[in-house]
Structure 1
Amino acid sequence: MILPLELAGWLVFLIPALGAVLTPIFARINGNFRDLMAVLIGFVTAFIAVDMLLTMVLSPVVFAVEPFRWVAVAGIIEFGVLIDPLSVLLAVIAGGIGSLIILFSVGYMTGHDEQGNLVKDPSLTRYYFFMQLFVSGMILLVVADNLLMTFIGWEIVGMCSYALIGFWHNLKTPSPVPEYETEGEYNAVCGMKAFMVTRVGDIGLLAGVLLTFFIAGTFNYQELTHLAETNSWPIDVSLVASLLPLVAILLFAGPIGKSAQFPLHIWLPEAMAGPTTVSALIHAAAMVKAGVYLVARLVPIFLEVMVHIDGMIIFFQTVAWIGAFTAFMAATMALVQDEIKKVLAYSTVSQLGYMFMAFGASGLVAESAAAYAAGAFHLMAHAIFKALLFLAAGAVLHATQTKRMSEMGGIKNDMKITRWAFTFGALSLAGVFPFVGFWSKELIFEALWHGGDYLLFGMAFLTAILTAFYTFRMVYQTFHGEKSTHIKELEAHGHHIHEAPPTMTIPLTILAGLALVGGLFELGFFNTFGAVSLEILEWTHIVPWGFGLTTILTIIVWTIGIGPAYWIYWKNGRDFSSLKEGSIYKFLINRWYINALWNRIFVDGYLWLSNGLKNRVETALIAFSGALSGGMDSLSKGWRRTMTGVLNTNVLGMMIGIIAFLLILIYM
């Protein structure tokens, strides 16, 4: 409305990038000025993103913007921005929620010394640099008009996540469950694990990007859409039919890693080693949303391809079932976690599975548009309530000086704003009416049920029950019941639990309000974003929400899940410590032993291979090298003895050589 979209599309990611570059300069001026500028730049970015959103919403026609071209390489590779509902939605999420997280950071990254004076983290300059670059990379990823530019943003996001997960790289946090923390105790190892595991998926993604160019001769999304619609590929169509399903799976490998889906989900729990604000940004506004975005961007293209190539259905089946399995698996793991951030981490893995389930189902069910729009709406809803939950958890950690729920409890009256904000987020996560999570999950149920995929619906239904249970277990153990021994000891030493400062409660209040009223955006979301986003497929009919069977089933879900949690924890406060000796608990706390399997195969396997190479190959090569050098040394010493320097000896040697040469000439 204020800025031309061609300009806004570039400024929305260049401004936070500029802020990151200028952060060290701001820090030289003054620490408070550095903090202020980080917040200001964050909100300027959010303003530009919201301005783009309003332009999109108020446009009376289908909105299409010819990408603003930046540079062309040999007329083949062009870099530009693509402004459509999907890119604007993700830009608002990254910019808007990112700005609230940076504001929250001002209070969260400040502590007290032994005298009670406020002390800022000594590495805040590095923190704000990477946080702003993180936001910039994520927005670049979503507004890019081609796969190559998206990949550049993809790698920027990966680098920033590595740096921020290991932000407190010199800290060591031993685990009470050694077999659970098998990667090492230093936070730096957690960042490295995230970096290495996601690289596995990135290799597949890069291969898919390059093969896409081989098949289509372009990286551009709009040109790929045109080729898919017309089936007019620059190479032989039969070769396209055999390669495209493989290319689609390779491209999906990137989202499997970035969005922590099975079997590359193992990095996300360790990502909790960083500051809670980093966790909020990774889970709500960046990183894990990158994979979901890429699938959402590719689904309409591959749906057009599937009209001509039946084999493309394997892509949608893979996306849907990996999402369904991951959602269920992660929900079971969340049931037994003691660390509040790890409960939230597994819930993120699970909710991302819901999104992939919906996007995958868009190629499997009759109501394709409904499934696609439901996945996009859940992406937005999850960004709101997961940012709220992580930031509220950060406020609790800041006050209680512990990350374990068993060391919390009984603080509901000490942190009322945080408690209510956390509860609003929990109600959304559990899918309780009228919070935003209810609407988004119900839409996924609606699409799966009416689409006729009852097996996927059953997986989603069962996962939702588990989600409601572990969510309210988390709420009770954090805020309700009796105060833990840890809390009592803190109070005995003069540390009284108190509410977070305004820089932390203001973002919580805003996000809590969005979690409460976010469901009201549903109709406008579908009318504006649903139809416009899917215009390339000529889909304009979206199933409207109504009180039907799936609504009743959604209510049953959170009743079945919340009811037992209320009875077990609120009503009776039972002690389940004896269950920790059971095989089910051990299976779940050890993450279905998938993490251990990865370590056995790749870590222990690599060590076995390297030791074998050292003991057998390297040792033999070193021995051979030593023997060779020793032999040459002996030969040189022997030859040196013949070099006496006596003239008669030299003449004799020359005569022998001449005679030998003549004999060879005579008899050869």
Structure 2
Amino acid sequence: MVEFALSHAWLVPLLPALAFTIIVFLTRPWPKLSSLVSIVAMLSSFVIATAVALGVFSNPQFIEKPLVYSLRWFGMEGFNVNVGVILDPTSTMMLFMVSLVASLIQIYSTGYMAGDPQYSVFFSYLSLFAASMLGLVISSNLLQMFIMWELVGLCSFLLIGFYTFKISAREAAKKAFITTRIGDFGLLLGLLFLQIKFGTLNLVELAERVPHFANYGVSLGLLTLIAILVFIGPIGKSGQFPLHVWLPDAMEGPTPVSALIHAATMVVAGVYLVGRTLFLFKEVPGAMEVVAFIGAFTALFAATIAITQREIKRILAYSTVSQLGYMMLALGVGSLSASMFHLWTHAFFKALMFLGAGSVLHALHDKADVWKMGGLIKKMPITGWTFVIGGLAIAGIPPFSGFWSKDEILSVTYQYAQHNPGLGYLLFFMATFTAFLTAFYIWRMIFLAFFGPEKEENHPHESPTNMTIPLLVLAVLAAFGGLIGTPWANLWGEWIHFGPVHHGEPALGLMGVSVVLALAGIGLAYRLYYQDTEKQTARSLAEKYNSLYKLSYNKFYVDELYQWFTRTVVDGSAKLIYLFDIKVVDGVVNGLANITKFFGIGFRYTETGKLQTYALVFFMAVVVIAVVMAFGAPISAGVLGGVK
């Protein structure tokens, strides 16, 4: 089975793609059959991905040299492209994680989407979404990856705007699509530069050629430009500042979509791309600093917004933006292992919390404001306690998964700071303060929604089994999924072995700081939102620092700034160009046309096409010439004499 899986890893994305085709053309009229086709295909992909993982992780040779097989796609003189598969610890981990989380989300969706008139269409979109992401993960060249990258964007557009009867959903879908296209344009330019300068987009070949960029006539400045252009794509796709604005609005889609986007597909694609091309960024220290700073700033920026939000899914959305910033920070300081490790743990606890939020919305009939919830854990114990596990994991409480991966990022950032004290300690401070804020805003949400007095107007009930079983599975993974990366086990460093493993001895002091920050955040949330049952302290703080509160609650007015820029600068420029086109360009063109028309009208009397007219003109010309010749000399002499 393992040997078969290694040589047939292309089946992992192909099976959900086939499910999409079958649902669209055959089973669409039968909703339950459509969901069955989708789930069976996804579970089959997960089984194959598991076998691939066993094969890769049991063979040390794949750690040093990835398994790559491909076939010719198309080519021309000086340009050939193969479509292929690359298997190494990073891609294999992603195959396993994406197929597992996507399978659980599809099972959960059978309960959440029950009775929806577009039930079959929804599952077809989920299948295509998973297929696109899995295809991106195993792509052996950047052009193939870019095509899958765009398919992922298309699927997110379709699923965010799934409720087409809602204006907000349609607008959110357009916002996501347009914003990410900005990033994709930069990425496309970067890929074109790579192909032109290095003659290939194959990942293995680029990894061999880029370190010797001077031999290919590439200066350090040009390589820096290429790296920044490539990074613009992940800025859009992974919701990094300033292209993060689409991600919170993506909550307009069904909750399983939010879980899939935030945990396993769309947004982690950008992190994965930077990790895949880290050989490029490592050659350009300036680009690495840009990646690290944008990651750290995004993590802190999104966390400061999340502390004041009221809607449960919106809080989780800004949490995702913040955690993605953590992953980018790890890549920026040169640690692929720390970034991928956090991506791994984040997939489980974030999928868990989004599906838990969906369970709450399902029970409360889409009431999303956490301030209008309360005491839900009594009526929804499975949803509530699994959500608590997710909250402990993301807050960084040991031994839950998020503690180990967050501690790894703090560790590599601190090591970076020791060698780069100026920027490094700033990054470390931003990362540690973000850890405190993360624990605070997550547990603020948990205390408001699941604990405290119940709201009489709510009548919650536990979700059906097909929704709670995925929650239980994800809760186990969120609790224990990080143990593979403990400093003592050191397994993760063996799996993701790109350079030296960063954690030799456990950084106990740093672990202690991390735990203290997490407990301080939870303690502050407990004091403000649980112990104070009337929430008077929280309200008085919001009133006292009203300007800061409004700034955070309104997301620092970034959306409004973009809206002003669009309406004033873009639309204003368009109006000016329109007037220039109408008044100047059209005026010149129409003026030339009128001049031509004027002369044409005059000339048409001389160019009649009639022989009699031409003969008359010829006769008159002869008469004029004869008159001039006969009387021209005396007249001229008389005129000249008079002048004298």
**Structure 1 position 319 matched with structure 2 position 291:** yes
Q: Which residues of 2 match residues 636-655 of structure 1 at below 5 A?
A: 651-652=612-613, 654-655=615-616
Task: Report the 3-state secondary structure (helix = DSSP H, G, I; strand = E; otherwise coil) of the residue aligned with 1:67.
Answer: strand
Partner of 1:154: 149
TM, length-normalised to structure 1 = 0.85
Q: Whole-Å Cα distance in 1 between the matches of residues 43 and 550 of structure 2?
A: 45
Please state how far the C-alpha of 1:612 moved relative to its aligned partner: 2.8
Alignment root-mean-square deviation, CA: 2.9
Unaligned runs of 5+ in 2: 419-423, 630-644
Please state how far the C-alpha of 1:51 moved relative to its aligned partner: 1.5
Indicate which of 306, 331, 342 corresponds to 1:359: 331
Kept after mapping to 1: 8 A contact 2:172/2:249: yes
Partner of 2:632: none
Q: Whole-Å Cα distance in 2 between the matches of residues 471 and 171 of structure 1?
A: 29
Task: Report the 3-state secondary structure (helix = DSSP H, G, I; strand = E; otherwise coil) of the residue aligned with 2:510.
Answer: helix
Q: Which residues of 2 match residues 234-253 of structure 1 at below 5 A?
A: 235-236=216-217, 239-253=218-232
The aligned amino acid for 1:546 is P
Please state how far the C-alpha of 1:348 moved relative to its aligned partner: 0.5
Q: Which residues of 2 match residues 154-233 of structure 1 at below 5 A?
A: 154-172=149-167, 186-229=168-211, 231=212
Deviates more, 1:100-109 or 1:567-576: 567-576
Partner of 1:438: 403
Please state how far the C-alpha of 1:510 moved relative to its aligned partner: 0.2
Partner of 2:386: 421
Q: Whole-Å Cα distance in 2 between the matches of residues 232 and 532 of structure 1?
A: 29
Kept after mapping to 2: 8 A contact 1:217/1:234: no
Partner of 1:44: 44
Q: Whole-Å Cα distance in 1 between the matches of residues 57 and 357 of structure 2?
A: 33
Task: Report the 3-state secondary structure (helix = DSSP H, G, I; strand = E; otherwise coil) of the residue aligned with 2:273.
Answer: helix
Task: Report the 3-state secondary structure (helix = DSSP H, G, I; strand = E; otherwise coil) of the residue aligned with 2:117.
Answer: coil
**Structure 1 position 341 matched with structure 2 position 313:** yes
Task: Kindly provide the CA deviation profile for residues 223-264 of structure 1, in whole angstroms up to 9, marking residues without a partner as x.
Answer: 1122245x276623xx34332111111111111111011111
The verdict on how the C-alpha distance between 1:640 and 1:594 changes in structure 2, with shifts beyond 3 A counting, is same
Partner of 1:21: 21
The aligned amino acid for 2:394 is L
Kept after mapping to 2: 8 A contact 1:98/1:135: yes
Partner of 1:522: 485
Partner of 1:295: 274
Identity of aligned residues (%): 38
Deviates more, 1:420-429 or 1:57-66: 57-66
**Structure 1 position 82 matched with structure 2 position 89:** no
The aligned amino acid for 1:226 is E
Q: Whole-Å Cα distance in 2 between the matches of residues 522 and 392 of structure 1?
A: 26
Please state how far the C-alpha of 1:321 moved relative to its aligned partner: 0.5
Please state how far the C-alpha of 1:210 moved relative to its aligned partner: 0.9
Partner of 1:592: 556
Please state how far the C-alpha of 1:53 moved relative to its aligned partner: 1.2
The aligned amino acid for 1:83 is L
The verdict on how the C-alpha distance between 1:622 and 1:439 changes in structure 2, with shifts beyond 3 A counting, is same
Deviates more, 1:18-27 or 1:630-639: 630-639
Q: Which residues of 2 match residues 494-573 of structure 1 at below 5 A?
A: 496-523=459-486, 527=490, 529-531=492-494, 533-535=496-498, 537=499, 539=500, 541-544=501-504, 546=506, 548-573=508-533
The verdict on how the C-alpha distance between 1:499 and 1:661 changes in structure 2, with shifts beyond 3 A counting, is farther
Partner of 1:106: 110
Q: Whole-Å Cα distance in 2 between the matches of residues 462 and 593 of structure 1?
A: 22
Count of residues in correspondence between the two structures: 613
Q: Whole-Å Cα distance in 2 between the matches of residues 232 and 244 of structure 1?
A: 8
Q: Whole-Å Cα distance in 2 between the matches of residues 662 and 332 of structure 1?
A: 97
Task: Report the 3-state secondary structure (helix = DSSP H, G, I; strand = E; otherwise coil) of the residue aligned with 2:556.
Answer: helix
Q: Whole-Å Cα distance in 2 between the matches of residues 192 and 660 of structure 1?
A: 73
Kept after mapping to 1: 8 A contact 2:485/2:491: no
Q: Whole-Å Cα distance in 2 between the matches of residues 163 and 29 of structure 1?
A: 20
**Structure 1 position 378 matched with structure 2 position 339:** no
Partner of 1:11: 11
Q: Whole-Å Cα distance in 2 between the matches of residues 661 and 461 of structure 1?
A: 103
Task: Report the 3-state secondary structure (helix = DSSP H, G, I; strand = E; otherwise coil) of the residue aligned with 2:481.
Answer: helix
TM, length-normalised to structure 2 = 0.89
**Structure 1 position 407 matched with structure 2 position 372:** yes
Q: Whole-Å Cα distance in 1 between the matches of residues 271 and 399 of structure 2?
A: 25
Kept after mapping to 1: 8 A contact 2:227/2:280: no
Partner of 2:641: none
The aligned amino acid for 2:430 is M
Q: Whole-Å Cα distance in 2 between the matches of residues 405 and 657 of structure 1?
A: 98
The aligned amino acid for 2:122 is Y
Task: Report the 3-state secondary structure (helix = DSSP H, G, I; strand = E; otherwise coil) of the residue aligned with 1:9.
Answer: coil
Task: Report the 3-state secondary structure (helix = DSSP H, G, I; strand = E; otherwise coil) of the residue aligned with 1:265.
Answer: coil
The verdict on how the C-alpha distance between 1:31 and 1:455 changes in structure 2, with shifts beyond 3 A counting, is same
Deviates more, 1:142-151 or 1:125-134: 125-134
Kept after mapping to 1: 8 A contact 2:198/2:210: no
Kept after mapping to 1: 8 A contact 2:338/2:405: yes
Please state how far the C-alpha of 1:468 moved relative to its aligned partner: 0.7
Deviates more, 1:20-29 or 1:129-138: 20-29
Indicate which of 72, 96, 99 corresponds to 1:95: 99
Kept after mapping to 2: 8 A contact 1:228/1:302: no
Q: Whole-Å Cα distance in 2 between the matches of residues 127 and 528 of structure 1?
A: 38
Partner of 2:123: 128
Q: Whole-Å Cα distance in 2 between the matches of residues 71 and 526 of structure 1?
A: 42
The verdict on how the C-alpha distance between 1:505 and 1:532 changes in structure 2, with shifts beyond 3 A counting, is closer
Task: Kindly provide the CA deviation profile for residues 566-585 of structure 1, in whole angstroms up to 9, marking residues without a partner as x.
Answer: 01111113144462681111
Task: Report the 3-state secondary structure (helix = DSSP H, G, I; strand = E; otherwise coil) of the residue aligned with 2:379.
Answer: coil
Q: Whole-Å Cα distance in 2 between the matches of residues 85 and 169 of structure 1?
A: 40
Kept after mapping to 2: 8 A contact 1:259/1:292: yes
Please state how far the C-alpha of 1:624 moved relative to its aligned partner: 7.2
Please state how far the C-alpha of 1:352 moved relative to its aligned partner: 0.6
Indicate which of 264, 267, 270 corresponds to 2:246: 267
Unaligned runs of 5+ in 1: 111-119, 173-185, 307-311, 363-370, 491-495
Please state how far the C-alpha of 1:79 moved relative to its aligned partner: 1.6
Task: Report the 3-state secondary structure (helix = DSSP H, G, I; strand = E; otherwise coil) of the residue aligned with 2:83.
Answer: strand
Kept after mapping to 2: 8 A contact 1:213/1:219: yes
Please state how far the C-alpha of 1:517 moved relative to its aligned partner: 1.1
Q: Whole-Å Cα distance in 2 between the matches of residues 527 and 550 of structure 1?
A: 17
Please state how far the C-alpha of 1:124 moved relative to its aligned partner: 2.1
**Structure 1 position 140 matched with structure 2 position 100:** no
Please state how far the C-alpha of 1:652 moved relative to its aligned partner: 4.2
Deviates more, 1:193-202 or 1:595-604: 595-604
